[in-house]
Amino acid sequence: MTATITHDPRPATGGSPLIVTEDAALLDDLLRLCAAAGATPEVHHGLPDQGGNWDTAPLVLVGDDAAHRLRGSTRRRQVVLIGRDQDDPGVWRRAVEIGADHVLILPDGEQWLVDRIADVAEGVGRPALTVGVIGGRGGAGASTLSCALAVTSAREGLRTLLVDADPLGGGLDVLLGGEGAEGLRWPAFAASRGRVGGGALEESLPALHSLRVLSWDRGDCVAVPPQAVRAVLAAARRRGGTVVVDLPRRLDDGVGEVLAQLDLALLVVPAELRAVAAAGRVAAAVGMVVRDLRVAVRGPYAPGLDDQEVARLLGLPLAGEVPVEPALLRPRGAGKPPGASARGPLARFCAEFWERALTEVGGTR
């Protein structure tokens, strides 16, 4: 069991957690949990001497046995009081006395604590601005826009991960010209459970055009369980920067896990009536999960339609008109990813999108 009793803790900034306890059995448990999270803690029986890391440790784990020794200490955030007796009402009073953010009762709260310690070990800050792109109908250009957004983000100096969530889409690494690049693909993560390390994930993926790509291989289609999708995307978001997800129009439990972690989604809709009608059904399904769904309209326009009218018919805010990248339509453009030319219309559209989204949604550069 775990509960917040004061304020929301600030993001971890990296470093070793501090353990304060004289309870040998509790210390063994906390050392075990730290090892599982990949962290090496500093251990004290009471308040560290002057020069210790009481003030600087990104996370302090205080055994209930040691709470009385910390009364009068300097108040700080990221303090967790840890006990074993759920029926002891005094633990809440002791937590208030030392200014703890949380009270955690073992063993029920072990997974929560491992996640918090791992955040400290990784130096987790603000999560990545996570954008999903989905086509209003087949062939709408969602994969092209996904790649262009990712390439543009990386060119702007942001840590960028491009995720291919469509196992039947042919692979975004192919679209980026990197199908032979070394690194793991989705099938390697099918058995993932619990927490996936953000740093390890990033380092394991193919690096293409200054960004990382999680795509599919060309082998047999492997089903990735929803819990694995959740763990992998959560790890990607903890690294900060931006995450762009190319979504399939077929929505299943795995895609639902992705939708739940999006900050916003772009629905790419060709400006024709049948596409608008199809996009309406997609919007209804996606909009049940994603609170910020916007429409990106792609020409050419059918008679009587423009980008504003398409947005009105769908009842969605307009993200803009997705321009055609002429170089991609010519043979000499082969091998260059969408958005590769910083001066091209598609790259300019993507740069303007990121500038607005990073301000509106609160991502970090």
What are the structure tokens assigned to 350, written together?
């993507």
- Spatial separation of the C-alpha atoms in residues 185 and 188, rounded to whole Å: 6
**Are the beta carbons of 80 and 102 closer than 8 angstroms?**
yes
Asked whether the bond before 345 is cis by omega within 30 degrees of 0, the reply is no
- Burial pattern 318-340, b for ≥16 Cβ within 10 A else e, equals bbbbbebbebbeeeebeebbbbb
- Spatial separation of the C-alpha atoms in residues 251 and 284, rounded to whole Å: 12
CA distances from 53 to 56, 218, 319 (A): 5, 50, 47
Going by C-beta distance under 8 Å and a sequence separation of 6 or more, which residues neighbour residue 342?
A: 155, 351
- Span 177-218, pLDDT tens digits: 888 899 999 999 988 777 787 888 899 999 999 999 999 987
Res. 10: pLDDT tops 60:
no
> How many Å is the maximal CA-CA distance in the chain?
77
Confidence category of residue 284, pLDDT binned at 50, 70, 90: very high
- Span 44-53, pLDDT tens digits: 988 887 556 8
175 or 317, greater pLDDT: 317
Q: What is the pTM of this model?
A: 0.74
Percent of the chain with pLDDT strictly greater than 70: 90
State the amino acid at position 143 in one-letter form: S
Handedness of CA 95, 96, 97, 100 (dihedral sign): positive
- Span 93-116, pLDDT tens digits: 999 999 998 999 999 989 889 888
Task: Say what the pLDDT of residue 335 is.
Answer: 61
Please name which of 316, 324, 326, 336 lies closest in space to residue 267, comparing C-alpha atoms. Answer: 316
CB atoms within 10 A of CB 2: 17
Confidence category of residue 12, pLDDT binned at 50, 70, 90: very low
Handedness of CA 205, 206, 212, 213 (dihedral sign): negative
Average pLDDT estimate for 327-355: 80
What are the structure tokens assigned to 269, written together?
């809709």
- Burial pattern 64-74, b for ≥16 Cβ within 10 A else e, equals bbbbebbeebe
